Amino acid sequence: MRIVETGRIVRALAFLCVASSGAIAQRGVAGRGMGMGRGRSIDMTRESPIVVPKFVNAVNLLIEHRQDLALSDTQFVQVIAMKRALDSTNAPLMRKLDSVQRLFKGGGPLFGDPSPGRRDSLATARALVQETVGNVRENVSVGRDKAYSLLSYPQRTKAQEFEDKAEKAIADESQHGRGKGGSDGAFGRPPTY
């Protein structure tokens, strides 16, 4: 009977030793990550990819909230025409943003530092994204002003409330780390499929 209990204890201890050695190997020597000696470890973080920031498209919000704004048929047709013109103007810019975002989607190398060429490419891409998003926002701003000129004062006030709410949602989303930008980057933009 004692031999059976001793055998169980030995097996249990052997199991614990094997299990703990696997955990120590994953954690590294003395819990220092993938230790490469005292105070040094391999950098396992990846470079952040290029992210296109979201923005509010007020013209699309007018269309989405047509009934809430009580747009007349004439107003709605004119806003639709403005939306089409705005989309045509922004389409090449949005394609450019999408291409840059896809090109740099994977981030940098997992081990080690990115090459100087990669860093230069990322800096150029970020500058291009910033400039292109600025152009898109300017186009949307011009379209917004034209569309808002069609609205009565109460409609304009309500439309501004919808726009403020959408901007707050984007700010909250990016503050909580969820703002990764959509395929089109525009908040308030109906799907274009």
Q: Per-residue pLDDT for the chain (193 aa), expressed as one digit of tens each?
A: 555 566 666 565 555 555 555 555 554 444 444 444 555 555 555 555 788 889 999 999 999 999 999 999 999 999 999 999 999 999 999 999 999 888 887 665 555 667 788 778 888 999 999 999 999 999 999 999 999 999 999 999 999 999 999 999 999 887 876 444 444 444 444 433 2
Flag whether 46 is in a domain.
Answer: no
Position 31 scores a pLDDT of 46
Integer CA distances (angstroms), 162 to 47, 79, 157, 188, in order: 35, 16, 9, 10
- Both 70 and 131 in a single domain? yes
- Both 109 and 159 in a single domain? yes
- Both 131 and 99 in a single domain? yes
Flag whether 192 is in a domain.
Answer: no
Residues pairing with 35 in the sheet? 41
Residue with tokens 């004062």: 153
- Both 67 and 23 in a single domain? no
The parent domain of residue 118 ranges over: 55-187
Count of domains observed in the chain: 2
Structural Rg of the chain based on CA atoms? 28
- Both 147 and 112 in a single domain? yes
Position 50 scores a pLDDT of 82
Residue 55 near residue 136, CB atoms below 8 Å: yes
pTM: 0.63
Flag whether 124 is in a domain.
Answer: yes
Integer CA distances (angstroms), 80 to 71, 74, 126, 152, in order: 12, 10, 32, 17
- Both 81 and 173 in a single domain? yes
Dist. CA 151–CA 32, nearest whole Å: 63
- Both 21 and 69 in a single domain? no
Flag whether 153 is in a domain.
Answer: yes
Residue with tokens 């999408």: 98
Position 52 scores a pLDDT of 87
Position 30 scores a pLDDT of 46
Position 182 scores a pLDDT of 44
Flag whether 131 is in a domain.
Answer: yes
- Both 177 and 138 in a single domain? yes
